[in-house]
Structure 1
């Protein structure tokens, strides 16, 4: 695996195609997203990494600054922007009811037992939180946690595919509700 990582060293998805840069998810107010488990730009703990590399696939604690008035729903996107693919891999996609959750406890993004007010959607890898498991020797991977405060619930938007079955990139492109604020936190992991 180390050889593969070295061969793909210069291939990285980058930020161009992240949810953060989609025209429909732009917002003016900035939220501050933090975690008790890691700081901005710091190494994510092993417990938040994938089981196949010795982690527990436990989504990290997340908290955010007060939401803009009129926030009806939160959209959380977790992306690996250093994966050697044309677009970042979505490690988790969730809708959060801000009246039920003022923060997320560790494990709240579990597909089997999501936290209060958390609705898990389909990601690139499956459902629920999937922790870092970068290719050995590929170098550090950045995992970007992006939080968007939406003015109306996504459920009320007209879509051709039910949101629970939509592919992540398709779903993200169909979000048309105004973004009242957004924030992001980046964690790093390398093998």
Structure 2
């Protein structure tokens, strides 16, 4: 069953332009299908966050925010799968599984906010069965403040709103998933 809707634009093309830097992964690549490890349990996966690494952030970077967003979800607002805030500026990677619900895989003082499934931590891909391939924007945002000024109760939309005023640069990797 396809939901027959147009492909959403790159959500970051709708924001003011910022510099970019390199984001890479041992686990995911642009345009490649996500492996079952990174898919939600309800869709037959292990619900594990992928490894992410980055380099080349600009001078003045004081922290990072990592997000995962699906603009192809059948909602007007897409679907947030992960949002980690206040990663120290010395952080240049997150290991596979860093998105554990208890936050144990994150360096202090970083934390995850509740994503759109209602839980904390990474929530793997889970598009409707038979739907078009969904894009998963794993984005690392270089931020000009040590703390984004949100708490664990903030929504990813509030995190994104605050990022609009503090993002120096961003890099991303965008795999896909369908089943």
Could you state the TM-score of these two structures normalised by the residue count of structure 1? 0.82
TM-superposed deviation, 1:176: 5.6
TM-superposed deviation, 1:148: 0.9
More helix by share: 1
Change beyond 3 A, Cα 1:15–1:114: farther
The match for 1:15 is: 9
Which residue among 153, 164, 167 is the counterpart of 2:152?
Answer: 164
Greater Cα radius of gyration, structure 1 or 2: 1
Q: Measure the CA separation in 1 of the matches of 2:152 and 2:59.
A: 27
- 1:54 is aligned to 2:44: yes
Change beyond 3 A, Cα 1:148–1:21: farther
1:11-58 CA distances to partner (integer Å, 9 max, x unpaired)?
66x236x366344xx42x211111111221111111111111221111
The match for 2:167 is: 179
Alignment of 1:52-91 (within 5 A): 52-91=42-81
Which residue among 147, 157, 161 is the counterpart of 1:154?
Answer: 147
CA RMSD of aligned residues (A): 2.0
The match for 1:136 is: 129
Change beyond 3 A, Cα 1:164–1:19: farther
Change beyond 3 A, Cα 1:83–1:189: same
Structure 2 residue ranges without an equivalent (≥5) = none
TM-superposed deviation, 1:63: 0.6
TM-superposed deviation, 1:67: 2.1
1:160-184 CA distances to partner (integer Å, 9 max, x unpaired)?
xx53212221332134643221111
Change beyond 3 A, Cα 1:176–1:38: closer
Which residue among 25, 31, 39 is the counterpart of 1:41?
Answer: 31
Would you identify which runs of 4 or more consecutive aligned residues in structure 1 move more than 4 Å? none
Q: Measure the CA separation in 2 of the matches of 1:163 and 1:15.
A: 29
The match for 2:120 is: 127
Q: Measure the CA separation in 2 of the matches of 1:167 and 1:115.
A: 19
- 1:115 is aligned to 2:109: no
Q: Measure the CA separation in 2 of the matches of 1:11 and 1:84.
A: 10
Could you state the TM-score of these two structures normalised by the residue count of structure 2? 0.87
Structure 1 residue ranges without an equivalent (≥5) = none
